[in-house]
């Protein structure tokens, strides 16, 4: 788009942005020769191929071209939405239509016609977003509009569009997002090195690129070190307080879990002792020494050893296979139903 060189005072800030990402455990991707919008568009395309829903944290109108129909988490095709990082509002398909008068699939044509001086998109002089949207609803696409421009009824619009066809086509190329950056160019920066030391052109990663990307767990020391280096005193204080509250909450939850576990252990031990010894011996005789009651006792001990795993699997005795156990009460109901224990 014939942009001027990067401002000299902006260049040193790139390292600060990388440092902030590392502090929060966020992997970064930089691709030489491509704009950030193109990288985002490519990653979004790859995510959709993997069946992953995408939320793009941006209010950039160009990225609204990526938005798709549907609701996240509802199954079916992948869904792409924008999330405004300032207003924290979701921009879905209907929101794009409400704002621009057309869907995301026609937004590039509207932006090309209307132009954008801040992005050096010339557009067609005298054609604004509302008129451009109306023309797209009428003609369907920019190319069809240009082909049939001589038939536009309004004289002023007809003359402007006919006189600027090449400029309109150039503008359309400028607003188009590159959605297929070569895989070998995609290097994910993780901490101070590439993610796992690989680039995403490797054959082992081409089938699940997005699925392999993970944000690191938040580390208190790493984050606070960055805030202190930046001399963010108030944020440092508030963050340290948040981590202290989180530690207390985790400790309290651990105490509750341990208390509940001890209670369940007592219940299971009590129930295990209730199994009549006589019935166990009779069952053993009938089953050639493989008593069902004995199996239940083994089952109780197995649950205790495995910390109350709720779903039983093939490692438990035959008498308990396929059973779902939540607590001692459910276990007893199961036993009574299958063995008529009174």
Any idea which of 74-83, 132-141, 246-255, 268-277 has the lowest mean pLDDT?
268-277
pLDDT value, residue 188 = 72
Summarised one tens digit per residue, pLDDT across range 154-169 is 999 999 999 999 999 9
Q: Does residue 72 register a pLDDT over 80?
A: no
In the prediction, which pLDDT does 335 show? 58
CB 136 within 8 A of CB 109: yes
Instruction: Spell out a b/e string for 281-295, using b for 16 or more CB atoms within 10 Å of the CB, else e.
Output: eebeeeeeeebbbbb
Q: Determine the Cα–Cα distance for residues 113 and 123; give it in Å rounded to an integer.
A: 5
Give the pLDDT score at 330: 55
Contact 324, 310 (CB under 8 A): yes
User: Does the pLDDT at position 307 exceed 70?
Assistant: no
- Exposure b/e, 3-21, CB count within 10 A at least 16 = b: eeeeeeeeeeeeeeeeeeb
Say how many Å lie between the first and final Cα of the chain, rounded: 83
Which pairing describes strands 193-194 and 188-190: parallel, antiparallel, or unpaired?
antiparallel
Greater confidence (273 vs 36) lies with: 36
What pTM value is reported for the model? 0.67
CA dihedral (49, 52, 53, 56) positive or negative: negative
User: Would you place residue 29 in the very low, low, confident or very high pLDDT band (cuts 50, 70, 90)?
Assistant: confident
Residue scoring higher pLDDT (190 or 251)? 251
| Whether residue 282 has pLDDT greater than 80 | no
Query: Do the Cβ atoms of 168 and 124 come closer than 8 Å?
Result: yes
Per-residue pLDDT tens over the stretch 113-141: 999 988 889 999 999 999 999 999 999 99
CA pair distance 208, 203, nearest whole angstrom: 10
Torsion, Cα of 187, 193, 198, 199 (10° steps) = 10
Among 164-173, 207-216, 222-231, 287-296, the minimum mean pLDDT is found in: 287-296
Give the mean pLDDT of the chain.
Answer: 78
More confident residue, 123 or 314: 123
Give the closest residue to 102 by CA, choosing from 60, 67, 53, 54: 67
Query: Cβ(318)–Cβ(295) under 8 Å?
Result: yes
The answer to whether residues 189 and 28 touch, using CB atoms and an 8 Å cutoff, is: yes
Work out the pLDDT band at 339, boundaries 50, 70, 90.
low
Angle at CA 147, nearest 5°, toward 141 and 149? 95
Taking the C-alpha atoms of residue 263 and residue 269, their distance in angstroms, rounded to an integer, is 10
Residues 103, 108: Cα–Cα separation, whole Å: 10
């Amino acid at each position: 788009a014939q942009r001027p060189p990067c401002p000299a005072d902006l260049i040193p800030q790139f390292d600060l942005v990388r440092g902030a990402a590392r502090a929060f455990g966020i992997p970064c991707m930089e691709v030489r020769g491509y704009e950030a919008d193109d990288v985002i568009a490519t990653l979004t395309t790859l995510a959709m191929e993997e069946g992953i829903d995408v939320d793009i944290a941006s209010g950039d109108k160009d990225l609204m071209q990526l938005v798709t129909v549907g609701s996240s988490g509802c199954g079916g095709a992948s869904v792409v939405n924008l999330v405004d990082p300032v207003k924290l509002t979701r921009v879905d398909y209907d929101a794009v239509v409400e704002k621009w008068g057309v869907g995301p699939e026609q937004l590039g044509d509207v932006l090309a016609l209307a132009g954008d001086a801040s992005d050096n998109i010339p557009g067609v002089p005298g054609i604004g977003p509302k008129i451009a949207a109306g023309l797209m609803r009428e003609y369907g696409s920019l190319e069809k509009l240009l082909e049939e421009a001589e038939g536009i009824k309004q004289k002023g619009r007809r003359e402007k569009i006919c006189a600027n066809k090449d400029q309109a086509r150039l503008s359309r190329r400028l607003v188009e997002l590159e959605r297929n950056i070569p895989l070998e160019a995609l290097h994910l920066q993780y901490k101070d090195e590439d993610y796992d030391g690989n680039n995403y052109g490797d054959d082992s990663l081409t089938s699940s690129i997005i699925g392999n990307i993970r944000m690191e767990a938040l580390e208190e020391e790493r984050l606070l070190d960055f805030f202190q280096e930046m001399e963010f005193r108030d944020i440092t204080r508030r963050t340290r307080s948040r981590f202290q509250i989180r530690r207390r909450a985790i400790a309290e939850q651990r105490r509750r879990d341990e208390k509940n576990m001890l209670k369940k252990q007592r219940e299971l031990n009590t129930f295990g002792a209730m199994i009549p010894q006589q019935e166990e011996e009779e069952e053993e005789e009938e089953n050639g020494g493989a008593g069902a009651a004995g199996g239940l006792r083994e089952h109780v001990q197995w649950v205790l050893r495995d910390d109350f795993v709720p779903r039983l699997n093939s490692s438990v005795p035959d008498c308990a296979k396929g059973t779902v156990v939540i607590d001692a009460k459910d276990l007893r109901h199961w036993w009574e139903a299958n063995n008529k224990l009174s």
